Amino acid sequence: MTDDVERLLQEAGARWRAAQPPPPEPDLSRLTQRRPGWRVPALAAASVALITGGLVGVGVLSTDSDQQEEPASTPPIFDSLAAVTVHEGAAVSATGILLDQGTGSVVLCEPAPEPSIMYPAGQEPPPSCSPLAIELAGLSEEDIAAIPGWTERQGVRFTGLLTVTGTFSDGRLEAEEFQEAEPSGLTVEEERFPLPCDPPEGGWRPATGDEEAQRAALQEEVDAHPELYSGLWVAYPEGDPTSPEVIVVGVAGNAAARQAQLQGIYAGNLCVASVPYSYAELSDVAERLTAAHTDWQTEIQPDTATVVLRLPVFTPADRELIGDDAALLTIEPLVRPIASSSEDLTADPTTTLN
Q: From first to last of its 354 residues, what are the pLDDT tens digits of the chain? A: 445 434 444 554 454 445 444 443 333 333 333 333 333 333 333 333 233 333 333 543 333 333 333 444 444 555 678 889 999 999 999 999 999 977 778 999 998 877 667 778 777 888 889 999 999 998 988 999 999 899 998 888 999 999 999 999 999 999 999 999 887 644 444 468 888 888 999 999 998 878 899 999 999 999 999 999 999 999 999 888 889 999 999 999 888 889 899 999 999 999 999 999 999 999 999 999 999 999 999 999 999 999 999 999 999 999 999 998 999 999 999 999 997 444 443 334 444 454
Alpha-carbon distance of 26 to 39, in angstroms, equals 20
Residue 347, pLDDT score:
38
Q: Are 56 and 196 spatial neighbours (Cβ–Cβ below 8 Å)?
A: no
Q: Are 89 and 169 spatial neighbours (Cβ–Cβ below 8 Å)?
A: yes
CA-nearest of 111, 196, 124, 118 to 154 is: 124
Residue 154, pLDDT score:
85
245: Cβ–Cβ under 8 A, 6 or more apart, which residues?
Answer: 207, 234, 235, 236, 269
The residues pairing with 136 across neighbouring beta strands, listed in sequence order, are 106, 173
Q: Are 226 and 283 spatial neighbours (Cβ–Cβ below 8 Å)?
A: yes
Residue 276, pLDDT score:
94
Q: Are 130 and 110 spatial neighbours (Cβ–Cβ below 8 Å)?
A: yes
Alpha-carbon distance of 308 to 328, in angstroms, equals 9
CA-nearest of 81, 52, 47, 86 to 324 is: 81
Residue 191, pLDDT score:
64
Alpha-carbon distance of 171 to 335, in angstroms, equals 11
- Counting Cα atoms < 13 Å in the Cβ hemisphere of 219 gives 8
Q: Where are the alpha helices (DSSP H) in 225-311?
A: 256-265, 279-292
Alpha-carbon distance of 331 to 298, in angstroms, equals 9
Q: What's the whole-model pTM score? A: 0.71
309: how many CB neighbours lie within 10 A of its CB? 26
Please tell me what DSSP assigns to residue 198: B
Residue 180, pLDDT score:
92
- Pairing relation of β-strands 246-252 and 229-235? antiparallel
Alpha-carbon distance of 315 to 81, in angstroms, equals 10
